Amino acid sequence: MRERMVVIGGDAAGMSAASQARRLKSPDELEIIAFERGHFTSYSACGIPYWVSGDVVERDELIARTPEEHRARAIDLRMRTEVTEIDVAGGRVRARDLESGAEEWTAYDKLVIATGARPDRPPLPGMDAPGVHGVQTLDDGQALLDTLERTEGRRAVVVGAGYIGVEMAEALMKRGYEVTVVNRGQEPMATLDPDMGRLVHEAMTGLGIAMVDDAEVTKVLTDADGRARAVATDDAEYPADVVVLGMGVRPETALARAARLPLGEYGGLLTDLAMRVRGHDDIWAGGDCVEVLDLVSGRERHIALGTHANKHGQVIGANVGGGYATFPGVVGTAVSKVCDLEIARTGLREKDARAVGLQYVTVTVESTSRAGYYPGAAPMTVKMLAERRTGRLLGVQIVGREGAAKRVDIAAVALTAGMTVEQMTALDLGYAPPFSPVWDPVLIAARKASVAVRVAGD
């Protein structure tokens, strides 16, 4: 009997699931219908800042696979078609053609929810004014670029100083803007501890970006034409010819909520290890709309990241296609850069550890990316958290220049393996003068952390 797989959402998770299922099952065995409300499929939202900056010239470079390419693989992809309801009991979804407005029900045997995330945009006055832009979708990116083309002024305000915010600050600076970043946190990059965020603040200031921390935006002020002209906080106004919102995202789960599917603390869908929605044998979910297990804390988290979405899609596609795969969870790795400043983190911050009852020691070391005598050796700061008593690695944060970001992968694997910092001191990491000091910065941190664990005692 031919089954039907229905996919809601045509980006990384949804289309990876569809593609993987198609690899395992022929069109005679499995019909695949995918609904996408936007204009694009399978694109790299993470690449948008680099398109805005001009590093990536053509929008289409960000598209991994076009609708036509998906269709050529026997996936019935319906663009500009929005699913408006999931009827779990009836095993069907209702979808609206956004051009014609026509709606129809489509039955499914297997449903994949990959509705992604939506920007976390507070309902403040002026937030929807012309000149205020999110950068969540390719459509958003195009709208921002259109504004930048039309705008003569060179003052940009970025609201938010997480990954999107700092990357957009670089992008706008590269386009010749005077950039102000307004951030409600104590320091930029709230995914780091404040002491490491401080290093990012200092480096961004050094790059000529005006950093305003501890500042809550109250409204966007507009001019006589209704266009954004400034961003206001309780204390001040920051003139802006363009405003970019980079405040993070939340799971887009309105449909799932209406269908009474299980949601977690952050509003994301809850799944089992096979990415099946809990309690629902025929419904899977993946990508930015789900919560994932944090292997270090044992808690669910929401992390919107293309690399996870792709993995989820693979796992879902394998399972829907009759294979077997699981997504065991994450350790919370993330890397970013602002010009030549590299920022990386994995595992728990101090406050994450405290929140789950873990006691810890913390050490911070300064080292270099290469042997000190080798040309281009750049400073690098590594912070490491280890559990008190057991010495288990809990987290690593790195701020530096070349070679800082991907070094965090060492810690990501060690966290996954449950290593102690003492065990890490013996890791056989690549050493040659152009690539590392004789003691890699991560090893230096591990050595210091293992001493700190012993000194802390019982």
Residue 394 in contact with a copy of itself, rule: CB under 8 A: no
Helix (H, G, I), strand (E, B) or coil at 195: helix
Annotate 412-458 with DSSP letters as a single string.
HHHHHTT-BHHHHTT------TTT--SS-HHHHHHHHHHHHHHHH--
Nearer to a copy of itself, 147 or 310 (CB): 310
* Count of CB atoms situated within 10 Å of the CB of 260: 9
| Interface residue with a copy of itself, options 214, 328, 356, 366 (CB under 8 A) | 328
| Interface residue with a copy of itself, options 253, 336, 381, 420 (CB under 8 A) | 336
Nearer to a copy of itself, 261 or 335 (CB): 335
Task: Look up residue 148 and give its amino acid.
Answer: L
| Interface residue with a copy of itself, options 374, 379, 388, 390 (CB under 8 A) | 374
Residue 13 in contact with a copy of itself, rule: CB under 8 A: no
Count CA atoms closer than 13 A to 184's CA, side-chain side.
Answer: 12
Nearest CA among 425, 438, 434, 441 for reference residue 368: 441
Residue 427 in contact with a copy of itself, rule: CB under 8 A: yes
- State the binding string over 144-183 for a copy of itself (x if CB under 8 A, else -): -------------------x--------------------
Nearer to a copy of itself, 98 or 413 (CB): 413
Helix (H, G, I), strand (E, B) or coil at 24: helix
Burial grade of 351 (CB within 10 A; 0-12, 13-18, 19 or more): exposed
β-bridge mates for residue 105, sequence order = 94
Residue 377 in contact with a copy of itself, rule: CB under 8 A: no
* Catalytic residue (choose from 24, 46, 64, 295): 46
Three-state SS sequence of 321-334: CCCCCCCCCECCCE
Q: Interface residues for a copy of itself in 39-98 (CB under 8 A)?
A: 44, 46-47, 50, 55-56, 61-62
Q: In the bound complex, what is the minimum distance in angstroms from residue 164's beta carbon to a copy of itself?
A: 11
Nearer to a copy of itself, 33 or 192 (CB): 192
**Are the C-beta atoms of residues 177 and 157 closer than 8 Å to each other?**
no
Annotated active-site residue 46? The verdict is yes
β-bridge mates for residue 283, sequence order = 111
Residue 346 in contact with a copy of itself, rule: CB under 8 A: yes
**Are the C-beta atoms of residues 267 and 191 closer than 8 Å to each other?**
no
| Interface residue with a copy of itself, options 403, 421, 441, 453 (CB under 8 A) | 403
Select the span of 99-107, 182-190, 199-207, 341-349 touching a copy of itself (CB under 8 A).
341-349
Distance CA(417)–CA(422), nearest Å, equals: 13
**Are the C-beta atoms of residues 342 and 402 closer than 8 Å to each other?**
yes
Nearer to a copy of itself, 27 or 434 (CB): 434
Nearer to a copy of itself, 123 or 375 (CB): 375
Residues with catalytic function = 46
Residues in contact with a copy of itself by CB under 8 A are: 12, 44, 46-47, 50, 55-56, 61-62, 163, 305-308, 310-311, 314, 326-337, 342, 344, 346, 371-375, 403, 405-410, 412-414, 416-417, 419, 423, 425-436, 438-440, 447
